[in-house]
Amino acid sequence: MIGQNTSDTSMTELRERALALLRRFYGYKSFRPGQWGVIEAVMSGRDAVVLMPTGGGKSMCYQMPALLASRGCVVVVSPLIALMNDQVQALTANGIPAAAVHSNNPDSYNREVMDGVYAGKIKLLYISPERLMADIDRWSPDMPVAMFAIDEAHCISQWGHDFRPVYTSLSGLKERRPDVPVLALTATADRLTRDDIVAQLRLRNPYCYLGSFDRPNLTLRAFPNPGPAGRVRYIIDMVRKYPQDSGMAYCLSRKSAETLDAKLRARGIRSCVYHAGLDPAARDAAHKAFLNGTVQVVCATVAFGMGVDKGNIRWVVHNNMPANIESYYQEIGRAGRDGLPAEATLFYSYGDIVTLRQFIAESGRVAVNQEKLRRMDSYAHSRVCRRRVLLSYFSEEAVHDCGNCDICLNPPVRFDGTVLAQKALSGVMRTQASVGVFTLVDILRGSQRQEIRQRGFDRLKTFGVGADLSREEWMDYLGQMIQLGVFEVAYERGNVLRPTPLGMRILRGEEQLELSRYVDPQTAGEHEAARGALAARGADRPVDKALVEYLKGVRKELAAEYGCPAFMIFSDATLEDLARRRPRTMDELLDVHGVGEKKASRFGHRMLRALDAYR
Ligand code: ADP
Ligand code: ZN
């Protein structure tokens, strides 16, 4: 069981045993930051809360206790069947007995699993919250539970961005099994949500680990939305840049996901859609095709992602702005889980804000959500290091610019935007503050749209005074002006623009306004490359690229033979380490990152032979 023998010497022994197990079952040499502290806490019977970003290695915090516990299994509560199945598959591949109980399995199978648990044959039991709370009273009192692990624990909180009412029933766990430690894990929670998790799960003096949210391997970028054609071009560039790897394109609606997918396929790109409107079979097929690499791009709504544990996602593009930083951070966190460089690009627009505000108005939790949206909008418009903005959102100190975001790589060029602001302000004044951003842009650019003529806007003095700028440029500059407080948007009155006192002073020439030059996403990369930033990032890895490609081929053959996704055989990071170390013997092979005994005995000979052949 868990919770006995907590003297110092026994903890040292425990740590040694844990390290041996880590090596044997996973092929890892050391714990990641935070992991051991949490394992130690729960092994001594204490409750714990773990906040680690996606890819930080949360699952080890409950998998290792399952291996260490002398008796009983760890019960893992997980919200998604796909997530459970992936984890069970990955554990089984490492030779660790795990199983999932859920409604997609036949009853007979679920019963068999439970028999295995009672018999002590299963170390990790994955289960949905509904199922757990329905079954727990029927479990016999000697059902050996070593620990409860609550994954995605933020779902329990109203303050979180992803509240799920069924999670609240988990507050009954402590009452049912007061002696069993509870471990709550999440990748996303601000302070309020964190405190709420502790309160609702009735945790007693929990050990808390707040991991760093920094993901230095992710290059962060945000651009004003370049329109549908520009977005497609950008995504095609990504696919060309990473021809062997995959990426995700998040869309705001099912329809836009489908349109994008159709356009990509028309250009010969292996793409698929994923959204909540698909039937379960189609969703499952899309999920599988993406995991095993038959499709390279998934065009998805936010319905996609929770279950995605794929190491080699090299890029994530958001075609629209997410509603809050928590979601955004979680979605981009799916890229670069193997620790190798990956890119996250956000396209934002004023239109997104309007749409999201409408959703929020209908959401019931208006104040919390509006504040979250406001913070997201500031991130998009940030003219300071984006990583610093993100980290400070999660209450983490960041005192240095990161050098790996668009602001650091390609600092915004400032210019005197007073005249632009005056044109916009005067346009608004002449319509008696009766237009929103879109109409204003039409007026400034001299659009011949029927509504413009019907409302007599083509006779205004400001009609066409901004025709020298593109639509995208105007949208960007007006967005900046709103951010800087030149205009207010009357969201409650058809989103019309109203000049603020600051705006009025600028209009009268009493105040200047500095803006940042519009950046075209397509050419932004060239500027960065010119600065040598991209070149430098690739050069610090002295890996034989051709060998890695060759090993990927071997991995693909193995995947086909074993009928499982390639990354389950070995991750990209493992292949890179193989290429770097070029082991000749089984012992040397076991030194490679991500190669444990089980995988060494299953695939080792093939890999060693392949390396030989390559030599
Ligand atoms: P999270 O659940 O926090 O998103 P995971 O638990 O899925 O992250 O871990 C992400 C990846 O890191 C997995 O491939 C996992 O095997 C790997 N990992 C976990 N712990 C370690 C470790 N101590 N050393 C090396 N890799 C690790
Ligand atoms: Zn930066």
CA angle 258, 260, 261 (to 5 degrees): 65
Contact 238, 265 (CB under 8 A): no
Give the ligand at the shortest distance from the Cα of 400.
2
Give the ligand at the shortest distance from the Cα of 336.
1
- Atom 25 in ligand 1: residue holding the nearest Cα: 28
User: Cβ contacts of residue 161 below 8 Å, gap of 6+?
Assistant: 154, 188, 323, 324, 326, 327, 372
Residue where a domain terminates, one of 210, 243, 273: 210
HEC sequence for 414-479: EEECHHHHHHHHHHHHHCCCCCCHHHHHHHHHCCCCHHHHHCCHHHCCCCCCCCCCCHHHHHHHHH
Total domain count, the chain: 4
If asked whether residues 189 and 53 sit together in one domain, one would say yes
If asked whether residues 227 and 187 sit together in one domain, one would say no
pLDDT in tens, 394-406: 777 777 899 999 9
Cα(607) to ligand 1 centroid in Å equals 23
If asked whether residues 205 and 247 sit together in one domain, one would say no
* Residue 529: band (very low, low, confident or very high) from pLDDT cuts 50, 70, 90: low
566 is a domain residue:
yes
Q: Which atom of ligand 1 is nearest to the CA of 571?
A: 14
Residues with CB under 5 A from ligand 2 (ion): 385, 387, 401-402, 405, 408
Task: From 492, 431, 433, 487, select the one nearest 463 (Cα to Cα).
Answer: 431
CA angle 387, 480, 521 (to 5 degrees): 60
If asked whether residues 263 and 300 sit together in one domain, one would say yes
Q: Which atom of ligand 1 is nearest to the CA of 30?
A: 23
pLDDT of residue 567: 80
Cα(57) to ligand 1 centroid in Å equals 3
Contact 435, 451 (CB under 8 A): no
Query: Which residues, listed in sequence order, are joined to residue 51 by a DSSP beta bridge?
Result: 186, 210
- Atom 12 in ligand 1: residue holding the nearest Cα: 57
> At residue 222, does pLDDT exceed 90?
yes
> At residue 539, does pLDDT exceed 50?
no
Identify the domain containing residue 425 by its residue range. Answer: 414-518
Cα(85) to ligand 2 centroid in Å equals 37
584 is a domain residue:
yes
399 is a domain residue:
no
If asked whether residues 29 and 150 sit together in one domain, one would say yes
If asked whether residues 447 and 506 sit together in one domain, one would say yes
> At residue 91, does pLDDT exceed 80?
yes
Q: Can you tell me the mean pLDDT for 568-582? A: 86
Q: Can you tell me the mean pLDDT for 424-439? A: 94
* Residue 4: band (very low, low, confident or very high) from pLDDT cuts 50, 70, 90: low
Cα(492) to ligand 1 centroid in Å equals 46
pTM equals 0.70
> At residue 536, does pLDDT exceed 50?
no
Give the ligand at the shortest distance from the Cα of 385.
2
Q: Which one-letter DSSP state was computed for residue 517?
A: P
- Which CATH number goes with the domain that contains 507? 1.10.10.10
pLDDT of residue 94: 92
Q: Of 53-57, 58-62, 387-391, 598-602, give the lowest mean pLDDT range.
A: 53-57
Cα(213) to ligand 1 centroid in Å equals 15
pLDDT of residue 530: 60
97 is a domain residue:
yes
If asked whether residues 230 and 171 sit together in one domain, one would say no
pLDDT in tens, 456-513: 999 999 999 999 999 999 999 999 999 888 999 888 788 899 999 999 999 999 999 9
Continuous segment of H or E residues that includes residue 374: helix 366-380
Cα(56) to ligand 1 centroid in Å equals 6
Averaged pLDDT score across all residues of the chain: 89
CA distance 402 to 387: 6
Cα(415) to ligand 1 centroid in Å equals 45
Written as six digits, the tokens of 385 are 């290091």
pLDDT in tens, 224-251: 999 899 999 999 999 999 998 999 999 9
If asked whether residues 369 and 278 sit together in one domain, one would say yes
Residue 446's CB: how many other CB atoms inside 10 A?
15
If asked whether residues 453 and 586 sit together in one domain, one would say no
CA distance 376 to 324: 5
Q: Where are the beta strands (DSSP E) in 476-530?
A: 487-490, 496-499, 514-516
> At residue 391, does pLDDT exceed 90?
no
If asked whether residues 13 and 154 sit together in one domain, one would say yes
Only one residue has tokens 């757990």, namely: 132
pLDDT of residue 5: 52
Q: Which atom of ligand 1 is nearest to the CA of 58?
A: 3
Is the Cα dihedral 395, 396, 402, 405 positive or negative?
negative
- Atom 27 in ligand 1: residue holding the nearest Cα: 57
490 is a domain residue:
yes
Task: From 157, 103, 160, select the one nearest 130 (Cα to Cα).
Answer: 103
Q: What ranges in 531-615 are assigned the alpha helix state H?
A: 533-539, 545-562, 566-569, 572-581, 586-590, 597-614
- Which CATH number goes with the domain that contains 74? 3.40.50.300
Give the ligand at the shortest distance from the Cα of 21.
1
* Residue 64: band (very low, low, confident or very high) from pLDDT cuts 50, 70, 90: very high
HEC sequence for 90-118: HHHHCCCCEEEECCCCCHHHHHHHHHHHH
Q: Which one-letter DSSP state was computed for residue 303?
A: T
CA distance 416 to 517: 10
Percentage of residues in the chain having pLDDT higher than 70? 96
If asked whether residues 290 and 318 sit together in one domain, one would say yes
Only one residue has tokens 């995504």, namely: 235
pLDDT of residue 559: 87
Percentage of residues in the chain having pLDDT higher than 90? 58
- Atom 18 in ligand 1: residue holding the nearest Cα: 57
Continuous segment of H or E residues that includes residue 42: helix 35-43
Among 19, 23, 309, name the best residue to mutate to test ligand 1's pocket (greatest count of ligand atoms within 8 A of Cβ): 309
Q: Can you tell me the mean pLDDT for 115-136? A: 93
Cα(194) to ligand 1 centroid in Å equals 22
537 is a domain residue:
no
User: Residues with beta carbon inside 6 Å of ligand 1?
Assistant: 28, 31-32, 35, 52, 54-60, 309, 337
Written as six digits, the tokens of 570 are 């070995």
pLDDT in tens, 313-366: 999 999 999 999 988 998 998 899 888 999 999 999 999 999 999 989 887 778
pLDDT of residue 535: 39
CA distance 218 to 238: 14
- Which CATH number goes with the domain that contains 568? 1.10.150.80
444 is a domain residue:
yes
CA distance 170 to 156: 8
196 is a domain residue:
yes
Residue where a domain terminates, one of 331, 365, 383: 383
> At residue 585, does pLDDT exceed 90?
no
Backbone angles phi, psi at 571, to 5 degrees: -75, 165
Among 61, 80, 337, name the best residue to mutate to test ligand 1's pocket (greatest count of ligand atoms within 8 A of Cβ): 337
Q: Which one-letter DSSP state was computed for residue 405?
A: B
> What Å distances lie between residue 250 and 258, 272, 328, 550, 563, CA to CA?
11, 12, 10, 31, 29
- Atom 23 in ligand 1: residue holding the nearest Cα: 31
Contact 555, 610 (CB under 8 A): no
If asked whether residues 182 and 35 sit together in one domain, one would say yes
Written as six digits, the tokens of 608 are 């060693």
Q: Which atom of ligand 1 is nearest to the CA of 54?
A: 4
CA distance 553 to 546: 11
Q: Can you tell me the mean pLDDT for 530-537? A: 46
